[in-house]
Amino acid sequence: MAVVLFSSTHPKEAAPWARALRAEMPDVDFRIAPDGMGRPADIDVALVWKPPQGLLASLPNLKAMINLGAGVDGLLADPTLPPGVPLARLVDPALTSGMTEYVVHGVLHFHRGFPAMGVSQRARQWVPAATPATAARRVGILGFGELGQNAAQHLTKLGFDVAGWSRTDKTVEGVESYAGPDALTPFLRRSDILVCLLPLTPDTQGILNAQTFAALPKGAFVINAARGSHVVEADLLAALESGHVAGAMLDVFQVEPLPEAHPFWTHPAVIITPHIASLTVAKSAAPRVAENINRAMAGKPLLDLVNRNRGY
């Protein structure tokens, strides 16, 4: 029987996770930190989202850590994270489709000119304007992994001209692949709508900066659904002020919740969402998490293993 510890900054998620996991593993001993943890030595597997620093290091018999989200930047920032314990991240169809919905919504919003129509509506002006064909709109997706590739496939079906940028080259039907630092500028130059779906690592921190924005075509749009620290916020504000970047849809911020005084709140060209681009759904994710718990108990390699040297 596996003893599983749940620790999350979203404590309300504990009950759905307990239910979903018990449906997969009826004999699981599901414990909720901090009050229900019991003896640290009992814990086999930790299911975590931003646990308190030091918690995982205090579990002497831990066999696996499973992150309840796709991005592990928060966990890897814990200097006490036990080095020898394998870490898996969440890969789940509901998480992927939620992100695709968010990205497709944002791309269509900018493509169909909804920001300008909002301005016209508030001025009670009837301004019909034609939109270019989707084939004439170039979408660039920074981070061409689980989430980026799925969003690209849906955008391609709508006829958009889509490219993805990743560390290593990819083959995805109908999508142009750009790989590595040297390909970044050519990729940006062809991106009318830039979508960031990168993991946050030392290499990608601050990647959405003045130089990046300058390389985009004038009037480009930016969608960031990855992490707030990918954006140099002052550089984005400057690019919006100059009109070089025409609009931004932002789900993530350097400080969350976004502070009340932050200029993004009232900027006419910025759409803000509160880190909801895609949310983990316990019922959907539980089968794969259960599979990983079983693998950990059997000493087998985990699925969706994080490469700690790469940082994702």
For tokens 């169909």, the residue is: 112
* Minimum distance, C-beta of residue 204 to ligand NDP, in the bound complex (Å): 5
Residue nearest to ligand OXD (CB): 69
Q: What is the phi-psi region of residue 239: left when phi exceeds 0, alpha when psi lies from -120 to 50, beta otherwise?
A: alpha
Stretch that binds ligand NDP, among 14-22, 53-61, 224-232, 287-295 (CB under 6 A): 224-232
Residue 275 known to be catalytic = yes
Q: Is 168 in the site for ligand NDP (CB under 6 A)?
A: yes
**Minimum distance, C-beta of residue 74 to ligand OXD, in the bound complex (Å):** 8
- Using CB under 6 A as the criterion, which residues of the chain lie in contact with ligand OXD when the complex forms? 69-71
Residue 61 and residue 308: Cα distance in Å, rounded?
A: 20
Of 157, 178, 156, 154, residue with least CA distance to 167: 178
Nearer to ligand NDP, 99 or 248 (CB): 99
| CB contact at 8 A, 87 and 312 | no
The single-letter DSSP state of residue 300 is P
146 or 161, CB closer to ligand NDP?
A: 146
Kindly state whether residue 198 participates in binding ligand NDP, applying the rule CB under 6 A.
Answer: yes
| Size of site (CB under 6 A) for ligand NDP | 30
Residue given tokens 């750009």 in the structure block: 178
Among 67, 145, 163, 240, binds ligand NDP (CB under 6 A): 145
User: Residues 137, 227, 230, 288: which is the catalytic one?
Assistant: 227
Q: Can you tell me whether residue 182 is helix, strand or coil?
A: helix
Taking the complex as a whole, the smallest distance from the CB of residue 145 to ligand NDP amounts, in Å, to 2
Binding test (CB under 6 A) with ligand NDP, winner from 67, 100, 191, 201: 201
241 touches ligand NDP (CB under 6 A): no
Q: Would you say 117 or 179 has its CB closer to ligand NDP? A: 179
Of residues 246-265, which lie at the interface with ligand NDP (CB under 6 A)?
251-252
Least distance between ligand OXD and beta carbon 70 (Å): 4
Binding segment for ligand NDP (CB under 6 A), chosen from 142-150, 155-163, 254-262, 264-272, is: 142-150
* Subset of 28-67 contacting ligand NDP (CB under 6 A): none
Residue 53 has, within 13 A of its CA and on its CB side, a CA count of 7
Strands 3-8 and 29-32, by their bridges, are parallel
Nearest to 33 by CA among 69, 3, 6, 61: 6
List 51, 71, 86, 106, residue binding ligand NDP (CB under 6 A) = 71
3-state helix, strand, coil in the chain (%, to 5): 35, 20, 45
CB of 77 to ligand OXD, least distance (A): 13
Task: Round to whole Å and give the CA distance between 175 and 159.
Answer: 11
Nearest to 112 by CA among 97, 125, 128, 96: 128
109 among known catalytic residues: no
Residue-by-residue DSSP string for 94-160: HHHHHHHHHHHHHHHHHHTTHHHHHHHHHTT---------GGG-EEEEE--SHHHHHHHHHHHHTT-
> Active-site residues: which are they?
227, 275
**Residues near ligand NDP (CB under 6 A):** 70-71, 95, 99, 143-148, 165-168, 197-201, 203-204, 225-227, 251-252, 275, 277-278, 312
